[in-house]
Amino acid sequence: MSTSKPTIRHLPANTQGRDFVVGDLHGCRRELDQALDAVRFDRAIDRLFSVGDLVDRGPDSVACLKLLDEPWFHPIQGNHEAMLATWLDAPPRSPEARFAAMQALDNGARAWATDYLLFREALPAELERLMRKLGTLPHVLVVGDGPARFNIVHAELRCQDRDDGVFTDADIDAGLPDALIFDLQWSRVIMAPGNDKLPEEAAGLSTTYCGHTIDPRVRRRLSHVCIDTGACVAFKTRSAAHALTLVEHSTGEETRIAAGQAPS
């Protein structure tokens, strides 16, 4: 568990185009491209924010990594990116590297990166360049300010020491000094099935998009909007209930793409 402070990045409001947020991709690049086509995404003025977990489990993690080179794409670091970054930072063939590799493989990297993680010399230079970007991604994004502000975190902005259980915008702006990166990337408390009666809003916290916890529905609890609706589940099982979800922030309109299905 990291004891370092979270990396928080601020971006200005989009005054020319639209802002979209997409749930956990997990290698489902084709579904993302279908969603962007469905909303007529304009790469010149629109922006796409990702709640993290670009890779693992799905069919095309490398294509999702290539999004890191797009100027209109703004991701945060999910727990799957963090596992890869930990592996890259470890000395090759060290016990630390092997532990990190096995953790990543056991969490879905077997779908695409078995040889790369076990034998680092098999890692192509271009792929390594993209993977190294994962270690530079922020843990929290803040977009705009005032009433139009929204935040992005992978798992939750859960604060164990507060009665309402969440950090606020003021905490974020102060650098989240009391937050653990592990909780920002791995916590599943607010979005746990048994907490579905939590209030939709939390005082002092702007709309905060997150992923990590899969459910067929978009959920709003304590100002968190969880949009991981299971793209990787739809890919593996062809489930009609699960899909990749894209949300336009200003309108709240959802676009859902299930594996092998038309947009809805």
Angle at 110 between CA 107 and CA 116, to 5 degrees: 115
3-class DSSP state of 17: coil
What's the pLDDT tens digit per position in 74-131? 999 999 999 999 999 999 889 999 999 999 999 999 999 999 998 888 889 999 999 9
Instruction: Give the pLDDT confidence score for residue 240 in this predicted structure.
Output: 86
Calpha distance 240→221 (Å, rounded): 24
Instruction: Give the pLDDT confidence score for residue 25 in this predicted structure.
Output: 97
Percentage above 90 pLDDT, the chain? 86
Kindly state the average pLDDT of the residues 9-14: 98
Which residues, including other chains, have CB under 8 Å from residue 47's CB and lie 6 or more apart? 14, 17, 18, 19, 20, 72, 73, 74
Give me the amino acid identity at 253.
Answer: E
Q: Can you list the domains of the chain with their CATH numbers?
A: 8-78+136-257 (3.60.21.10)
Ramachandran quadrant class, 137 (left: phi over 0; alpha: psi -120 to 50; beta: rest): beta
What's the pLDDT tens digit per position in 38-85? 999 999 999 999 999 999 999 999 999 999 999 999 999 999 999 999
